[in-house]
Structure 1
Amino acid sequence: MNLGVRIYPGRDHVDSLFHDYKVLINPSTTDVICTTTPEALAMGKIVICANHPSNEFFKQFPNCHTYNTNNEFVKLTLAALAEDPVPLTDDHRHALSLEAATERFVEAADLNEATQEKALASPPPFMPISSDDWSRSVEEASAYLHNTVSGIEAARCLWCNS
């Protein structure tokens, strides 16, 4: 097989070379920390991506088209090449901002609710704790400590470098 493939050096996404492109095809279903898709949407491009849980967030944007089959992929790609991207609303622009991403992260990482829901009941006074209760308490305390400390960068660095 002789394929004429060229690999170009990396370029900044604001490079004028990319201004004429209006479609990004991202078929990945494994790269769930990818920034390519939100960057393309934020730049007003049309995105074609797989209908997959890792792409769920992007479905809210009118320029994101998801496919399930090879035929859908071809149809969506041809349609995207023939249409103009929909301008972003202020809400969509905000949803793609670092500020909104940070807000979603803080909300998802909120430990206060989880710790309040799983608060351990104190054993009755003067009653010995059973070994099962003790094991469960130690496991829950260990999980709480791990979740709390792993969110503190200095503690994480100390733990990982020891």
Structure 2
Amino acid sequence: MKAENKNHRDPFKGLAFPGKPVSKSEYIEAYESYVSRCSIITNDNHEKTMDEKLAELKKKHPQKNLRLLQLDDPDLNVSLMMRSRLCLVLINNVPYHGILATKVEHSWEYPPHLRVQMIVDAGEFETSTNKARGIISQYEKHSSHHHKHDESGI
């Protein structure tokens, strides 16, 4: 191994990995996974990111059109309710179906912030209400149309 460059630290210094090394292309492809794990305190109970959960669900349900939505619009009213085995998500007091996973993040620091991420089966989600398709197009995490809804509401 080359000596550590003064401008770059060796992120693997002091670490050993079991097994044979992966190819350089596999190593480069795994970079995004590495980055996402650096932002989380990892341990044996590593909590999956929603991107990881989405990938896992897509493998498990390849026939479904799964999408990751990120609702961080302060004008949306999002309610999560659970009773017995029934889980319900309401957006602006309208119940939506086809939601496979949710994650809520909040901060009370100024300005207060609430973010709700949802993995939805787009086909089932869109049957909930005529506004569901608009929610997907506006709040899909990897969409280029990630913007606030218009005055007509959702």
The answer to whether TM tops 0.5 is: no
Q: Which has the higher strand share?
A: 2
Q: Which has the higher helix share?
A: 1
Q: Which of structures 1 and 2 has the bigger CA Rg? A: 1
- Greater RCO structure (CA 8 Å; 6+ sep): 2
TM-score normalised per structure 1:
0.22
